[in-house]
Amino acid sequence: MRAAASLQRSLAVHYRGRVPVPDRRCHQLREIVSWEPTRQLTGRRPSSEDTKQAALVCGLEPMRIKFWGVRGSTPTPQSENMRYGGNTSCVEVRFGDRIYIFDCGTGFRVLGQQLQSEFGDRPFSAQVFVSHFHWDHIQGMPFFRPLYANAESRFLFQCSSRTRSLKQVLADQMAAPYFPVDIGQMKARRDFYDIESGRITIEDGVQLQTAWLNHPQGCMGFRLETKDGILVYATDNEPGDAAFDKAVRKLAEGADVLIYDAQYLPEEYEARRRGWGHSHWREAVNVVMQSGAKELVLFHHDPDHTDAIIDKVVHEARNYYPKVRAAAEGMEINL
């Protein structure tokens, strides 16, 4: 609780006076500019400028969710996977001038390149939520350029230290003989906060709720609540435990967007993947329908699932629930 209070005070000072006032008349803004690879589009894919212009019409900048890494377990830079992407877990959320990042897989490296291009020599801050310490959720950290670039930039890392601290995990994965550059080369300010299951107010109008998911060594799910909408990020969760099943549905309750683990096909899970800590698209549909969440984004795609397999999964899932899409690198959703 003390660490959570420290985090809340730190973020409140940093963002004081910088919270945009949303116009509820524009709640459906995401329908104007959302994009996905399975949708047949006439014309070009909406650009970030399209998003900004649509937001200006409504007098606000919307919450923007962007996917930088969507794959589970290991990167898959293969031609048959390129439409959805091969980088591991990383999701960025923008709300006004705030930057929230969920997980630091290899997509974190690509996001870092974009942020460096955007800010140049100017310092910036971001909050980084790490669900757990398995490789596919932390392996992008040593390759995130902004950590090395500006001593005035600040990154607030938040995760549970139930097994060990993130600060130690980051130092260990960069220690000899695993990496040629040690953590001392990082110039940016890095603050580490321990968060456990529960709810904290990050600032006025923005709350974070967390819950443990069913995964070996543990994994944390996140619910980000703002004046514009609710995002739930719940990756790496295996169904079948009554307590965890109830907790994830409570976490997802009424969310505008639910990002959920759908690594396996149902038949793969039943045949040989029980106990591995992941879910399948049929369970994802169960969660979205039983929680009352509005839109389901299938996430953490299996390394062996090609674009064609994921297309088929989306098609089958939509037979049960219409508002389903599969996460793809570069995909954006605006609330």
Q: Look at residue 16 in the predicted model and tell me its pLDDT.
A: 44
β-pairing, 98-102 with 90-95?
antiparallel
- In the block, tokens 């890095």 appear at 190
Q: Quote the pLDDT of residue 273.
A: 81
Residue 15: CB atoms within 10 Å: 19
Q: What letter represents residue 18's amino acid?
A: R
Confidence of residue 7 (pLDDT cuts 50, 70, 90): low
Sequential DSSP letters for 186-245: --SEEEEEE--SEEEEEETTEEEEEEEESSTT-EEEEEEE-SS-EEEEE-S--S--HHHH
Q: Which domain holds residue 221?
A: 2-16+24-334
* Three-state secondary structure call for residue 138: coil
Q: How confident is residue 36, by pLDDT bands cut at 50, 70 and 90? A: low
Kindly report whether the peptide bond that precedes residue 177 is cis, defined as omega within 30 degrees of 0: yes
Query: Tokens 């514009």 label which residue?
Result: 228
Per-residue DSSP letter, 86? -
User: 43, exposed or middle or buried, with CB in 10 Å at 0-12, 13-18, 19+?
Assistant: exposed
Provide DSSP, 6-42. HHHHHHHHHHTT------GGGGGGHHHH---TTS--S
pLDDT confidence of residue 115: 98
Cβ neighbours of 249 (radius 10 Å): 18
The residue with tokens 């995002």 is 231
Contact (CB, 8 A) for 248 and 287? yes
CATH number at residue 221: 3.60.15.10
The least confident of 25-29, 186-190, 238-242, 293-297 is 25-29
**pLDDT band at 3; cut points 50, 70, 90:** low
Cα–Cα distance, 262 to 305 (Å, whole number): 11
Q: What angle do CA 96, 229, 8 make, to 5 degrees?
A: 65
Least confident of 85-99, 136-150, 193-207, 296-310: 193-207
Whether residue 38 has pLDDT greater than 70 = no
Query: pLDDT over 70 for what percent of the chain?
Result: 82
Q: How confident is the model at residue 50, as a pLDDT?
A: 55
* Overall number of domains in the chain: 1
- Are residues 257 and 66 in contact, defined by beta-carbon separation less than 8 angstroms? no
Of the pLDDT bands very low, low, confident and very high (cuts 50, 70, 90), residue 5 is low
* Cα torsion 144, 146, 148, 153: sign: negative
- Cβ atoms of residues 311 and 38 within 8 Å: yes
Summarize the confidence of residues 261-267 as an average pLDDT: 95
Dist CA 312 CA 255 (whole Å): 25
**Side chain identity, residue 152:** E
Q: Tokens 């879910």 — which residue? A: 279
Q: What is the mean pLDDT of residues 310-321?
A: 98
Confidence band (pLDDT; 50, 70, 90) for 8? low
> Where is average pLDDT lowest: 129-138, 195-204, 209-218?
195-204
- Residue 162 banded pLDDT, cuts 50, 70, 90: confident
Strands 64-69 and 332-334: antiparallel
pLDDT tens, residue by residue, 41-86: 334 545 545 544 554 444 456 899 999 999 999 999 999 999 999 9
Nearest alpha-carbon partner for 229 in 304, 333, 104: 333
Among 201, 181, 120, 197, smallest CA distance to 153 is for 120
Comparison of pLDDT for 187 and 51, the residue scoring more:
187
Tokens of 267: 């038949």
Higher-pLDDT residue of 148, 10: 148
Average pLDDT, the chain: 87
How many residues can be counted in the chain?
A: 335
